[in-house]
Amino acid sequence: MGNSRNIPDIVVGRLPVYLRALSLMLAEQCEYTSSHELGERLGISSAQIRKDLSHFGEFGKQGTGYNVAFLHEQIRQILHVDREWPMAVVGAGDLGRAIVHYRGFVPRGFRVVCVFDNKPERVGEEIAGIVVQPMEKLAEELSAKNVQVAMIAVPLEAAQDVADQLVQAGVRAILNYAPINISVPPDVQVQYIDPVVHLQHMTFYLK
Query: In terms of CB distance, is 63 or 204 closer to its own copies?
Result: 204
What contacts 23, CB < 8 A, 6 or more positions away?
72, 108
Non-local CB neighbours of 165 within 8 Å, separated by 6+ positions: 135, 138, 139
Decide: is 30 part of the binding site for its own copies (CB under 8 A). no
C-beta closer to its own copies: residue 27 or 62 = 27
Residue 47 sits in the site that holds its own copies (CB under 8 A): no
**185 forms part of the interface with its own copies (CB under 8 A):** no
- Binding part of the chain for its own copies, among 64-72, 77-85, 118-126, 135-143 by CB under 8 A, reads 77-85
Assess 129 for contact with its own copies (CB under 8 A): no
Work out which of 24, 47, 131, 144 binds its own copies, going by CB under 8 A. 24
Cβ-count burial of 186 within 10 angstroms (0-12 exposed, 13-18 middle, 19+ buried)?
Answer: exposed
CB of 112 to its own copies, least distance (A): 11
Nearest to 159 by CA among 180, 185, 134: 180
| Angle between helix 35-42 and 46-54 (nearest 10) | 110
49, 76, 99, 127 from 60: Cα distances, Å: 12, 16, 37, 44
| Phi, psi for residue 69 in degrees, rounded to 5 | -65, -40
For 55, the enclosing helix (H) or strand (E) is none
Shortest distance, position 64 Cβ to its own copies, whole Å? 26
Residues that bind its own copies (CB under 8 A): 1, 3, 8-10, 12-13, 15-17, 19-20, 24, 43-45, 48, 78-81, 85, 87, 93-95, 97-99, 101-105, 108-110, 148-149, 151, 153, 156, 172-173, 175, 179, 181, 189, 191-207
